[in-house]
Structure 1
């Protein structure tokens, strides 16, 4: 009788072909289940747990549509934050994904592209790890399938599927890892280095944070491996470093201009709009369940996580026990041991400068405080370092499931019981969605076009801002950025040139602050002539052609009262009230 994962010799090739077909189909089916509520109406629904970031990726996909169909610059957009624009390289523009999908965005809508990318990202990441594991690291297809499903559908991946298109598309990562490891082989320096460099470029245009995490993890892995197997490393280090040099040169040449644009062109920024200890991994989350896991409880999870899109560990109690079991089982394997050390180091970094337990500072200082303000590191949300150990856990599970084949029957049964108790509670639930405000006929029937001629903008109130003006930004993106709009949710400098610290908003102006207060608190101030003059000044700066009051939302009556006081009575057409601003002058573009 064969043990778990073994293949009878006579039927092995047939069985392998079958499982190699069914595994990716299973991953795809699971991804569809996770996204099923969004797929019902991808252009009309919004991911409820992070509608802001959902809107960001609608924007970058609509931008790619303009790049392909209108010849716009891939690295800059003048359609958001008008008239200044947005440095797209300084934002997560996923150009490697958004440009190929531009025809889908153009003809079916950016919402369809978002749903497609998240679905294929989850399933593709799982299959990529399955492929690398099954071809290079384990003999058992069952073990590889377990590793793949965890790498692709771990709680952290499902959590980031709530709007983080960039983080769920990680299928390039396992091939980067494998190409790095292959550089130790004779004759691989040039060819392997070029392949690795091209993969680095591809990943850079998907998500730079993931690339940074991968580089840090491989760095720790190599150092740990060198310490534990010095004789092995001494025999291969020259060709290994030569291959890395070729990869660095290849990637450096191809990325030189894009990275220059990101860090030095207008719209660049430095640092994040929050301190390093604001978003960190909670120690208790190692043993808890994520919101989207089958056993998850949102109320309890909130005490251990910064947001629904950052449930970056949450292995569950049995999952944590099985991690320890897996490490013990593969401890004699130096590479597995080095991988475990790398995962532990990145996990420790994700805890931030001070350890937190159930949301409370313990006062215990941690090593990350020493590097929290190092350039590049200061651009990262610290808790996301914990995505690395989640992936390494998937690899360790696969290695342990592969090794258990040689164990006695009783130990095998105990192992599989433990894996069942660890994995079943982590089965992901469908992501929650909400209905988005439908596009008004004013836009869909093209009425707006006469108001945005001659480089004028269409302004929605509430203004497009993070957390408060999602509808206006979403409307612009679903119209494939056919018109420009001021402000928006993006990353840029908070107050250039005086302060280039990163911000999620455009620099503050009198009118944006005024409209925000009225929406937030519902109190309408009595405007002075000086106030009206400053509002007019801002509208001229924004090159206003028309202002639309978004129906519904928070305190719409107060917002309307303020606009009437400042601009007079509105007109009505196409399901909205609007103010014609074409009488205002349009300043020349800088």
Structure 2
């Protein structure tokens, strides 16, 4: 927008004959006038030289923010902190101040002082506005041509072209950083004049966060903002201005930064608080009784995962290999890399475990992990798909708290702590965009590799299922938009190659250990019913509001593997959204991805409900691929959770834009009606089995020596693993025979759950659960000695439990010796047997 000279004359007394083509706003951050005088002289010479070469002519103006401003200028112009610019006295409806800025140099009225950045932008008159600071302007305006060319490419849609952020971390990561905690977001940026004046007139902040607020407001209007590198003459670099106290005056007030951070990010922080509250509500019964409560539907998985937390802490603090232990599974041990130890979280949380214990770490990981997963899904949906915050929040909530996630929350943190997955997807989409050139492809490829590496140390199977879902989505997009895929495959392919080059060296040794190290295995047997029943897709989960635990139990492997159960209303709504928005290529690709994931989750053999008929499923081809032989195929249906979440977010965003209030109300009520049946209920808990006083008192130390194992009866296995909790409470002072983990079995090294069974462990388990003891003869006694010797047993312990008398009588016959009653346990010292 050009301003006529008459208006400029009336406001400033200047008499240049042409409209203002460029307004330069210089932020000096409080530097004294004496230090800025040489800089102003250089800028004036530079601008005069540029103006002489402008086609058609044009004038310039330089507004200096800070020095030589009248002491009461901010008050007069309505820019004092806490004042709404729209209410400022002397401000016209366009947002410009009616009072002229004060001249800095009387001999050149084009150079004037303005007290605040907002006032400078509002009083500017240029068709283009350049924001700069003393550090960048000290070497001249050499980067202006680069920004000008970018703004001229699409002047009708572009609001601002900013120079490359000089913070190395922000530049390397390609992320905006924490808004409000840096002052050089727009240290060198060229605005379209009218859009800049509108944006700064709408701003409400007064500190360094105003830059981020303005950029966010511009994007909300649908205007394009771009960051591009600025070329400078060889040998010249931006000069950092130094000030007394080390920082510019406006940056010396951390309270202002914190307040503006919260004001700028109030919406996102409110969504984060919502997710934390939702996760706490889900696990609040555990939080209220950390010592005595145990997740009722966790089977033995809570004991197992707390053991993983404890053994990782014990290994690291004692400088032992974190990928292996003999703490259980004596004498063979456990390949921890081949189990869901989640080193990416258990290692950083070692201080929490040392101070508060493994249970607190377990509940903290579940609570904050699910909340973080919901927030990153919200962030991805809001960033790329919708404009309405609450629509994105609803989509993120469904993606992170869908029925399958609630089921796995009973004891599978690796399947609910998925906050890295949206970040990985975002990096892949950045590579597909390919708009920032080769440097961005390298950067995003490196970050994709680092993100994938970290996800491997959180959960490999979720990453594998995500990769499968992304491949299906890419193929679906190839069907619906070949041109887009053709344009994206080169940068995406190069980025994936770079990601692999970064990731593989970091994980090659851990993965070698996992697949070829001690106690490694090749595949895990899950049985014939690991796929979902077709009914499981339309029924409700046990912990959903409309769910029936008995029905869900009949249609799933167990309470932690209810991998579908989205309910027919939500699936029907998703189908209606696809029909409604079928013209959207994204929706078509999402529909194909969701359907394919649901069909794959049915497994290699698909039973027809209410009949004896079975049909071959497409998973039979997937299961032959490397790595997929260990995947529980029913878990592939978890891909449908973010698909449905995105569809719900898109629908709500479209509903929010409806012109009629009645239509908006009915639309929101319809979405609420389909989500209501699958609302998660708080997870149920039971009283935890107490640790025997024989363990808590330390009496075990008299019976189990270094290098020996404690044989708990019955031996810990996937059915009963309370002894793992004993070991955690004893700070891993003893080793255990048996256990609950994934390990090899047989010459084929097939993966099984728990230690390979032996005759004595099977006998004791049968007796514990109701079988009559066999007649004990020499063969049984010899076999018992062999098994105890194999386990390197130091003591056999029978705690108080059902059928204790039968167990004690059987072991007395086997060992030909009576036990010693130590507190609440019967104990046989068998160390000599182990050494014989």
Q: In structure 2, what is the equivalent of residue 25 of structure 1?
A: 273
3-state secondary structure, aligned to 1:583: helix
The correspondence for 2:602, drawn from 327, 330, 351, is: 351
Q: 1:229 to 1:316 in 2, by over 3 A?
A: same
The structural deviation recorded for 1:532 is: 0.9
3-state secondary structure, aligned to 1:284: helix
How far, CA to CA, are the matches of 1:532 and 1:140 in structure 2?
A: 72
| More displaced 10-residue stretch of structure 1: 576-585 or 416-425 | 576-585
> Does the 8 A contact of 2:808 with 2:826 survive in 1?
no
The correspondence for 1:514, drawn from 763, 773, 791, is: 763
Q: In structure 1, what is the equivalent of residue 381 of structure 2?
A: 133
> Does the 8 A contact of 1:159 with 1:292 survive in 2?
yes
The reply on whether 1:200 has 2:452 as its aligned counterpart is yes
Q: In structure 2, what is the equivalent of residue 44 of structure 1?
A: 292
The structural deviation recorded for 1:16 is: 6.9
Q: In structure 2, what is the equivalent of residue 400 of structure 1?
A: 651
The correspondence for 2:357, drawn from 100, 109, 128, is: 109
Deviation string 1:40-95 (CA, Å, 9 cap, x unpaired) is 22343221112311122012111111122111211111101011101111111111
> Does the 8 A contact of 1:312 with 1:390 survive in 2?
no
More relative contact order, 1 or 2 (CA 8 Å, 6+ apart): 1
How far, CA to CA, are the matches of 2:641 and 2:607 in structure 1?
A: 19
The correspondence for 2:825, drawn from 552, 576, 583, is: 576
Q: 1:362 to 1:123 in 2, by over 3 A?
A: farther
Q: In structure 2, what is the equivalent of residue 210 of structure 1?
A: 462
The structural deviation recorded for 1:450 is: 3.1
The correspondence for 2:524, drawn from 272, 287, 294, is: 272
Q: In structure 2, what is the equivalent of residue 286 of structure 1?
A: 537
Alignment root-mean-square deviation, CA? 2.1
Q: In structure 1, what is the equivalent of residue 592 of structure 2?
A: 341
Q: In structure 2, what is the equivalent of residue 243 of structure 1?
A: 495
3-state secondary structure, aligned to 2:298: helix
> Does the 8 A contact of 1:510 with 1:534 survive in 2?
yes
Q: In structure 1, what is the equivalent of residue 310 of structure 2?
A: 62
> Does the 8 A contact of 1:45 with 1:434 survive in 2?
yes
How far, CA to CA, are the matches of 2:548 and 2:786 in structure 1?
A: 50
Q: In structure 1, what is the equivalent of residue 425 of structure 2?
A: 177
3-state secondary structure, aligned to 2:374: helix
The structural deviation recorded for 1:234 is: 2.2
How far, CA to CA, are the matches of 2:335 and 2:265 in structure 1?
A: 46
The structural deviation recorded for 1:437 is: 1.8
> Does the 8 A contact of 1:143 with 1:402 survive in 2?
yes
> Does the 8 A contact of 1:522 with 1:558 survive in 2?
no
* Higher helix proportion: 1
The reply on whether 1:98 has 2:342 as its aligned counterpart is no
How far, CA to CA, are the matches of 2:769 and 2:693 in structure 1?
A: 27
How far, CA to CA, are the matches of 2:659 and 2:801 in structure 1?
A: 65
> Does the 8 A contact of 2:400 with 2:641 survive in 1?
no
When normalised by structure 1's length, the TM-score is: 0.93
The reply on whether 1:542 has 2:794 as its aligned counterpart is no
How far, CA to CA, are the matches of 2:515 and 2:818 in structure 1?
A: 45
Q: 1:281 to 1:16 in 2, by over 3 A?
A: farther
Q: 1:375 to 1:44 in 2, by over 3 A?
A: same
Structure 1 residues not aligned, in runs of 5+: 1-8
The structural deviation recorded for 1:136 is: 2.7
| More displaced 10-residue stretch of structure 1: 67-76 or 150-159 | 67-76
The correspondence for 1:471, drawn from 722, 741, 750, is: 722
| More displaced 10-residue stretch of structure 1: 361-370 or 514-523 | 361-370
Structure 2 residues not aligned, in runs of 5+: 1-201, 205-215, 218-261
Q: In structure 1, what is the equivalent of residue 732 of structure 2?
A: 481
The reply on whether 1:225 has 2:474 as its aligned counterpart is no
The structural deviation recorded for 1:256 is: 0.7
How far, CA to CA, are the matches of 1:391 and 1:560 in structure 2?
A: 53
> Does the 8 A contact of 1:355 with 1:361 survive in 2?
no
